[in-house]
Structure 1
Amino acid sequence: MPDKPAAEVAIDAALVRSLVAGQALEKIPDAASLALMKVAEGWDNEVWRLGDELAVRLPRRAPAAPLVRNEQRALPAIAERLRPTGVRVPAPLLAGVPTDAYPWAWSIVPWIAGVRGLDVVRAERAPWAAPLAAALAALHVAAPDDHPINPVRGVPLGRRDTVFHERLAALRGAGTIGDTSAEALRDRWIRGVEAPSWVDDPVWIHGDLHPGNLVAEEGTLVGIIDFGDVTAGDPAYDLAVAWLAFDQAGRRLFRAATATRYDSATWVRARAWAAAVVVMFLTHSDDEPAYAALARAAAIEVIGDD
C-alpha cells in the first residue's frame, strides 16, 4: 500500500508567517501578531491555525496547487448558498499568491471550530442528517460550463470500473478483505455501474464527502471542509456519505430529508460510490488508521444495506 507522498516544499512557521505578513495585513491587520500552530498535514495540504478564528491552508506538493485555486474560485458562491442552512464552509478570506519562497497559491480561511466527524461515534451522527441534506440541496445546483474538472469524482461509474476491480483484487490478494466481503462490495459496485446514469446538467459536488471532512460542535453539524476536489457532475458521488457517515437509522433520516431530490437510480450509484471509497481508503490508509477504520465500518453499512 502506498505511503503518503513526501512534501515537495518545506513548510514551517517562519514561511507561513512571512506569507501572512507579506500579503494579509491589508485585509487582516492583526494577522502577523496572531498565534500560529500547525494542526493538520494531509496528502495534499497543510493547515496552520492562525489565532482563534482563522487558518492558513497551503499545498505541500504540486498536484494540490490547482485544487487550492479551485477552492478560491468556487467556495465564495457556495458559502453564500449554504449560509441559510447554518452549515459553514471555509470560503477563503484571502487568496494568497506565490512568492520567491513559496511556489503556489494558498489561502487564509475561517477556522470552523468543532470536532471532525471521524471522532464522533457513528450512531451519534444521526442528528446531522437533516442539516447535511439541506447543505447538499444548496450545493447541488447546476454548475457553469467552466467549472473545475476532476477526472475521477462525479464521473460516470464505468470510467472507474477498471481501477475499482484492480484495487479490490489487490486487497483480496493481500488478505486485507475477505472473499465474502469482497464479493458483496463488487456486487454493489456492479449494480451502480449498470444503473441508469445521471443525464441532467452537472451539479456542483464536494467531491470528497466523508466524516473526516465534516465538523460538529456539541452534537450539531456546523461545517463541511476540504473542498479541494470540488467539481461538477453526478451528485451520487456526494450521496455516498449516507453509508460513509451514518448507520442505518441516520441513513434513513438522511434519505428521507432528500427524498424529493434524487431518484432511486441515483441512490444505487451512490452506494456504488460508497463501495469505491471503502476500497480506496483500504488501499491508501496505511498511515491513516482512522480512515482504515472508517472504511471497515462503512463496508459493513454498504454490504448490509440491501
Structure 2
Amino acid sequence: MTAAKLHADEADTSAPLVRALLAAQFPQWAGLPVTPLDSAGTSNAIFRLGADRLVRLPRTAGSAEDVTKEHRWLPYLAPQLPVAIPAPLGQGRPGEGYPWPWSVYAWLEGEAGAFTEPDLSAVELAHFIAALHRIDPADGPPSYRSEPLAARDQGTRAAIAELAASEGETVDAEAATAVWEAGLRAPAHPGAAVWIHADLQPGNVLTLGGRLNAVIDFGCLGLGDPAVDLLAAWYLLPTAAHPAFRAALPADHADDACWARGRAWALSTALGELRYYRDTRPAMAGTARQVIRRVLTGRGRPV
C-alpha cells in the first residue's frame, strides 16, 4: 500500500519498496518485517524495520538533501547531548524506482510529545537546548531556519491576513501582527550562530514515563539564532511552565530580546503550517492552532 502523499512533488513510498531497497542494498536486514508507521512528520515516510530499526524515505527532493547532513553530523552531536538522538546505521542510495538517498536508523523508544510533568520537562528540554547550543559550531551547515525574522516578514503577514479571513479559523490579525512586529523590533542575537534543532515540536520529542527520552527529526539542523529553538516553549509547554524553561536556559539565550524573537518564530512557523497543512494533515493543523492560541493569549493545553 502506497503511503498517502502530503506534497505535490512527493515520491511514491511503500513497504514493498522498502523491502526491495533493503534486498538490493542491505541484504543483512532484508528478512526483517517492515511496518509502515503513521508518523507525525511530514518530511519522511517512516517504516519500522524489525524490533530495533527504522527506515526513513524522504518524501521530496528537498528532504532528501538532509540525509547526508544527518549522517555526517548526528554522530558528532550525540555524545555531547543529555538525551538520545537518532543513530544512523546505513545510508541508502537511489534505486528500485526510488530517486533519492534514504536512511536506516536505530529505533528509539518513547511516546511523542507526552509530557506529564510540565515544569520538570521544561527543565529537561532547556538542558537539551543549552547543551546543543554549546557544541562547537565549526564547519556546521546553516539551519533550514537560519534566516533572520525580517526575511519571513512578507510570508508571515500574508499568512496572518489569509487565515484571519478564512472561514472556520480564529486568527486575530491585530494580536498576531503585534507579536510579529515585537519580534522584528527585538535586537538580533549578538553572538555567532549556534547549533539549533529548529523544529522542536510534539512529534519530534519522545518521552518515557512522561520524561524526555529522545529528540528526533533533525532535518532542520544547522547553525542559526538560538531564539529559533525557543519555539519549543509554545509548541511543547503550557504557559505556566515557561518560567522554569527560561530559568534553565543560558541567560543570553533567554533574555527578553531572545524570548521575543522565539515567540515570533513560534507564531510564524505555526501560521505557515496551518496555512499549508489544514487540508492534508489535520493533526499538524490542530497543533498549529494550539500554538497560535498560546502565543496570542497565553492559554491552551499542552500539545
Q: What is the TM-score when the length of structure 1 is the normalising length?
A: 0.87
State the one-letter code of the partner of 1:243. W
**Partners of 2:10 and 2:180 in 1: how far apart?**
35
- The SS at the match of 1:232 is strand
Q: Following the alignment from structure 1 to structure 2, what is the Cα–Cα distance between the partners of residues 123 and 34?
A: 34
User: In the alignment, residue 33 of structure 2 is paired with which amino acid?
Assistant: A
Corresponding position of 2:21: 19
1:127/1:219 contact within 8 Å kept:
no
Partners of 1:164 and 1:7 lie apart in 2 by 23
Return the alpha-carbon distance in structure 2 between the equivalents of residues 243 and 230 of structure 1. Answer: 19
Relative to structure 1, is the Cα distance of residues 44 and 92 closer, same or farther in structure 2, using a 3 angstrom cutoff? same
Q: Which residue of 2 aligns with 1:280?
A: 272
- 1:26-51 CA-to-partner distances (Å, cap 9, x unmatched) read xxx4x222221010364321111011
Structure 2 equivalent of residue 194 of structure 1: 185
Any residues of structure 2 matched to 1:1-306 within 5 Å, and which?
Answer: 4-6=6-8, 8-25=10-27, 29=28, 31-40=29-38, 42-82=41-81, 85=82, 87-99=83-95, 101-117=97-113, 120=114, 124-141=117-134, 144=137, 146-150=139-143, 153-178=145-170, 181-262=172-253, 263-286=255-278, 287-305=280-298
Confirm or deny: 8 A CA contact 2:117 2:211 kept in the other structure.
no
Deviations 1:232-291 (A, max 9, x none): 110111111111111122222211111534232111100111111221122122222222
CA distance in 2, matches of 1:239, 1:277: 12
1-side partners of 2:85 and 2:134: how far apart? 16
> Partners in 1 of 2:8 and 2:293 — Cα distance?
32
The alignment partner of 1:33 has SS state of coil
Please state whether the residue corresponding to 1:240 is helix, strand or coil. helix
Give the secondary structure class of the aligned counterpart of 1:199: coil
SS state at 1:71 partner: helix
Alpha-carbon distance, 1:166 to partner: 0.6
Taking only aligned residues, the RMSD between alpha carbons, in angstroms, comes to 2.3
Larger displacement relative to structure 2 (14-23 or 43-52): 14-23
Structure 1 residue 175, shift from structure 2 partner: 3.5
Amino acid at match of 1:238: D
Match for 1:9: what amino acid? A
Larger mean Cα displacement after TM superposition, 266-275 or 138-147 = 138-147
Matched residue type, 2:281: E
Aligned residue for 1:48, secondary structure, equals strand
* Identity percentage of aligned residues: 39
Q: 2:110·2:206 contact (CA, 8 Å) conserved in 1?
A: yes
Task: Tell me the TM-score normalized by structure 2.
Answer: 0.88
Q: Which runs of 5+ in 1 are unaligned?
A: none
Say whether the 8 Å CA contact 2:163–2:275 is kept in structure 1: yes
Contact 1:89 1:223 survives alignment (8 Å): yes
Q: Distance in 1 between matches of 2:24 and 2:170?
A: 54
Secondary structure, aligned partner of 2:94: coil
- Asked if 2 retains the 8 angstrom alpha-carbon contact of 1:72 and 1:92, the reply is yes
- Helix, strand or coil for the counterpart of 1:140? helix
Which one-letter code corresponds to 2:182 in the other structure? R
Deviation readout 1:104-159 (Å, 9 max, x if unpaired): 11111121122111xx3x775443212211111121136646433346x1321111
CA 1:33 to 1:245, structure 2 compared with 1: closer, same or farther past 3 Å?
A: same
**Deviation (angstroms), 1:4:** 2.4
How many equivalent pairs are there? 292
